[in-house]
Structure 1
Amino acid sequence: MSTDTNGPNDGGTEKIDVRVPVALLEEIDEEYERRGYTSRSEAIRDALRDWINPPVQLSDETLEDLAVSREQRERGETRSLEDVKDKYDVE
């Protein structure tokens, strides 16, 4: 293993060896280019970050509530925060 002092956040990076099945590596190569990554390493680092800190996923109930809210806004049934503050004279 080697340490690269030019890594992200000036914390350096460490090289690791990982064995993956050939079919998986072929999929990684296709996907990282499709997603605009400049290298396998960049794509794999990003995937590992998501594994450590998974992105927030909204529940089906929350997604449905958001859809209802969007429809209400489109029908003009909502008010801005500023309008409500003015109406009720709050800061």
Structure 2
Amino acid sequence: MSEADSSSNQTTVQIRMPDTVLDDVDATWEELGYTNRSEFIRAVLRDAVKHPEFDRADLKAMLASEVDIQKGRTHSSDEVKAEYGLDGEGESMAEG
């Protein structure tokens, strides 16, 4: 835990959320290696504040990519270049 996270520097904040959301939080924090629910929620909020450009669509794309990788659905750079007609310099082979 960083110095900024020490209990002497923290303020208690109460929030309300649907039980279904809390169930999802509880099913997630331990699986991801957090010590407790509060630590997980602080990390999620910190990430949302520090990286507001990172949105749900980005997360979904990353998760879909991770599933593809885990299932072996990957392509070499040469396969991608061939599929999209790229010569490796970002230009189309047809434009060459």
Q: Could you state the TM-score of these two structures normalised by the residue count of structure 2?
A: 0.47
Is the radius of gyration larger for structure 1 or structure 2?
A: 1
Greater per-residue strand proportion: 1
